[in-house]
Structure 1
Amino acid sequence: MNKVAEREGEEDVLSFSQLTFEEILAAVMMLVIVVSVSWGVLTRYVFATPASWTSEAASIAFAWAVFVGAAAAFLRREHSSVDALLAICPRPIARILQTVADLVVLATLLAVAWLAIGMTLSTTDVPTTVLRIPQSVTYGAAAVGFTVMALRHLMAMTRRFRAGDAA
């Protein structure tokens, strides 16, 4: 059961007030995908004058939904992890292993965020094919997503360290 909505005797239910900025933004991007793809199908097959912008808008929204959605999943600790080794190790060793794993994940997230920020900045003057907006709008999704994941991971590490928890 999801820890955010866990209540004794109740099903796993999230209310709108429990959603984070990342989840709301990812949901809005999913709505943009559905609307733009639907409009593209409608204009192509019903009106016989296809809207050329729909697939590009859907692609940009998809990038944002994926990376911001991944950050939302990171916040709720819904990404998969293998912690079988931690379960069989003595607590002091498990804490060390968890700390090493946390630092490796943080370093990876920061490295990818750094690369994504560089890619975003290098494409500010390169327009997309149809919409003619900067390609950095698309690449910015990865930069924002990985930066938020790194911040959320650092927050989780800090909570675990303060609580003295290994996992």
Structure 2
Amino acid sequence: MRFPDPVKVFDFLPAAALGTIMLLTVAAVFQRYVMSTPIAWLEEVNGLLFLWAIMLGSAAAKGAGSHLSIDILTSLLPPRGQWIMSIVVEVLTLFVAGLMSWYGYLLASQVQFKITNVLGIPYSYIDYAVPAGGIGIALFSIRNIVVLCKGHDPSVAKEMN
């Protein structure tokens, strides 16, 4: 049994959220300017979808190796030094993603009883996007560390799934 590529799963969800935002915005413009009846809940839904798209999209970018990096100093190192620097960067990324996930979880837990004005849903539904994105980034960092320790280039990690 072949499992789906986790990067593709993380790619699909933000793309679906952004597509939904686009469709809802077109519908809102039509409702407001043609029908003269604005959609009251649209701003809250778009905000929720946008935050989830950003956080899951950042995890997808980590998994695909698409985050911006400046390798001017790393490229001057010998191969062993580049390998060590790659491990250090992945461990630091894992640490930051862990902090982001933990504090995002704490934030979402604190606002679980605070309700949005229009939709009437807990703010935690919005804020849980932060730990979800952090967990995704952490998982891809762990994958990259494992791939690096096996002696491979992390850019081939996608093919190894």
Note whether the superposition's TM-score is higher than 0.5.
Answer: yes
Give runs of aligned pairs for residues 26-45 of structure 1, distance below 5 A: 26-45=14-33
Q: Which has the higher contact order (CA 8 A, sep 6+)?
A: 2
Alpha carbons 2:105, 2:131 under 8 Å: kept? yes
Work out whether 1:57 is the aligned partner of 2:63.
no
Q: Residue 149 of structure 1: which of 129, 132, 137 is its match? A: 137
- Please give the per-residue CA displacement for 1:121-149, whole angstroms capped at 9, x wherever unaligned: 21111111111111111111111011111
User: Partner of 2:73: helix, strand, or coil?
Assistant: helix
Q: How does 1:1-167 map to 2 (within 5 A)?
A: 20-163=8-151, 165=153
Aligned residues: 151
Q: Which 5+ residue runs of structure 1 have no aligned equivalent? A: 1-16
Q: Deviations over 1:15-45 (max 9, x none)?
A: xx87611111111101220122122211111
Counterpart of 1:62 in structure 2: which amino acid? F
Letter in 1 for 2:96: T
42 and 93 in structure 1: CA distance in 2 versus 1, 3 angstrom threshold: same
SS at match of 2:121: coil
Q: Which runs of 5+ in 2 are unaligned?
A: 156-161
Give TM-score scaled by structure 1 length: 0.82
Percentage of identical aligned residues: 25
Offset of residue 165 of structure 1: 4.9
